[in-house]
Each structure stands twice: as structure tokens, then as C-alpha cells.
Structure 1
Amino acid sequence: MIPLHGDRFLRKITEADLPDVLRLDRETFPDDPYPYFALRQFHDALGDHLLVVDDGTALHGYILATPPLHASSWILSLVVSPALRGNGLGRELMTAMLGRLREEGAGEVLLTVDPANDSAVALYRHLGFTPSGEPHPEYFGPGEPRQRMRLAF
């Protein structure tokens, strides 16, 4: 467990956390949350890289990354409870995961972000990520633009 600001800590997901992670995803992405089966498979396949924010009573966020493969890793999802946004929790999650990925041998970390999500883009830029090319207007399908970003260690 990694202590975070306040009474919160970061820890590896457990199977019992899956309903709360689904809840967080639905709160954050109401139009397109991960389905339960995908979260279940992420738990099984990437559980060491699926970390949750816990305060002892509830989960308040999570981060999902891939382990480094050929020195590259991906941040697949960063979720912070809407009630706690703007308090630095996203930065704490990213900083913890980036440190872990660096220790595991990642030479670069990649992610995609909705280019209209100004706060997320600002967070990633603050952490050293830079855009990789122009935003792709249909990265996840029609009406789903994403900007690829990259951080080199």
C-alpha cells in the first residue's frame, strides 16, 4: 500500500473491488463505461497494474496501465471520483504509477486523452507528456477523438 494525501492509500485491486470500480467508471464515463467483463479481465490479466484509491470505507479512483513491453507502457485509464476532482488525486495516481513503470524498465509511457478534456490534458502536460501528432478525430470510433501523448524517461 502506498499512502496518499489525507486518509487515502493506493493499493492493488482485489476481486471484491470490481463492483466499486464499475461504479467509478460509470460515474466518470456515463456514456461509455467499461463493461463489467472488461474490468474483470483487466483484474485477471493486469491486476498488478490496476491500482485503486481506498480510504478504508470506499474507493475513490483507480489507474490502469500495461506492464512495460519492449520498454513501452500504456496508461489505459485514470479515474477519479467526481467529488474529489481538482484535489491532486489524479496527479498522485499518475505519479505513483509512473514511478512504478520506470522501476519496471519502461522507457516511455503512452496514453490517449479526449482533446476537449482540458484538465486531463493539463495534468498530463504538467507530468511531462507531450502530444504525438495531431488529435485523431475518430480514434475510438465516430465522434470519439483522442490525442495520443508520450512521456519519455
Structure 2
Amino acid sequence: MIIRKFRPSDLSRVYEIECRSFKDPYPALFLMNLYETYPATFLVAEENGAVVGYVISRMVNVSGHVLAIAVEPGRRYRGIGRVLMNAVTERLREFGMKDIYLEVRISNTAAVKFYKKLGFEERGIIRSYYSDGEDAVILKKIFF
């Protein structure tokens, strides 16, 4: 597996993974806009020439903000998400970020557990964050 920067030719595959991973997927045009705005921190995982996962983050002051991460459903629980998160964390550190944070559905206990294993801590809840009214948990990891 290799981790590399997203390329526009990856869009259809990233969008397919997005749609298979989320109730309310980002539109393909929005994903492309994120790439155009944050090209240095939009990374993909590739196995045997195929994109199998991605992570998108942005930089806000001295914090990295993970906007989305997803792995092809059939390839989950094999360490791809961990490798993507470690890669984007390192990239954000290289840019001088002091921490990284994200939001996740309160019902997504598997994701919360995953992030906690990576050193994230719960920092709060945002009520009715998602379009269906579900709350989000804020998770944050401070770099040392």
C-alpha cells in the first residue's frame, strides 16, 4: 500500500468510496473543491493501482481539521485507516500544526474507538450537527 496526494483522476473512485461509506456523502463537486482548496492534505491509499481509501483535512490557525476519512468497505479493519490518519497527522505536523481534530457521529462507536486508539480524546458534543439531527462527538489529539 502506498499513501500519496490525491489527483483529479482519483475523483470517481474517491466519490464511490464516499457514497459507500456515509449516509450523507459529500457531492463529487464538493470533494473536488476540497482538493483545490487543500491539495497538500488530501491523501489517498492505493493498493495494486487502485484507490482504497482517502483522508481530507484542512488547516485552521494552528489546528488540523479532518473533514473526511473513508476506506472501501471490503477493506476495512486492515490498518488502512490508521495508516491514512498517521500520514495526514505527519503532514499537518510538517506544516506546523499543533493538534488535529474531527467530528464523528455520536452513534458511530466503532469510529470513536478507532480514534481513541490513535490518541484522540473526546472534547465535547455538537448538538444536531448532522442534517438528520444527530449529534457529533468532537475528538482531538494534541501533538507533543
TM-score, normalised to structure 2, is: 0.92
Q: Percent of aligned positions with the same letter in both sequences?
A: 32
The answer as to whether partners of 2:41 and 2:91 remain within 8 angstroms in 1 is no
Runs in 1 of length 4+ with deviation above 6 angstroms? none
Displacement of 1:144 in angstroms is 2.5
After superposition, the CA RMSD in angstroms is 1.3
The structure 2 residue matched to 1:42, chosen from 22, 27, 34, is 34
Residue type of the alignment partner of 2:64: S
CA drift of 1:139 comes to 1.1
Task: Give the equivalent residue in structure 2 for 1:105.
Answer: 96
| Counterpart for residue 126 of structure 2 | 136
* SS of equivalent residue, structure 1 residue 105: coil
Distance 2:134 2:106 in 1: 10
Name the SS for the 1:54 alignment partner.
strand
In structure 1, give the amino acid aligned to 2:65.
W
**Which amino acid in 2 is paired with 1:48?**
A
Q: Which residue, 64, 69, 72 being the options, matches 2:56?
A: 64
Note the alpha carbon deviations across 1:9-50, whole angstroms, 9 max, x for none.
111111111111110101111x31110110110121112111
State the one-letter code of the partner of 2:128: E
Residue identity matched to 1:13:
F
Tell me the distance in 2 between the aligned counterparts of 1:19 and 1:49. Answer: 18
The alpha carbon displacement at 1:145 in A equals: 1.6
Cα distance in structure 1, aligned partners of 2:102 and 2:116? 12
In the TM superposition, residue 93 of structure 1 has moved relative to its aligned partner by: 0.7
User: Structure 1 stretch 48-57 or stretch 35-44: which is displaced more?
Assistant: 48-57
Q: In the alignment, does 2:28 pair up with 1:33? A: no
Equivalenced residues, count:
143
- CA shift, 1:70, in A, is 2.2
Q: Equivalences for 1:1-40 in 2 at 5 Å?
A: 8-29=1-22, 31-40=23-32
Match of 1:82 in 2: 73
Compute the TM-score of the two structures, normalised by the length of structure 1. Answer: 0.87
Unaligned runs of 5+ in 2: none
CA distance in 2, matches of 1:89, 1:57: 15
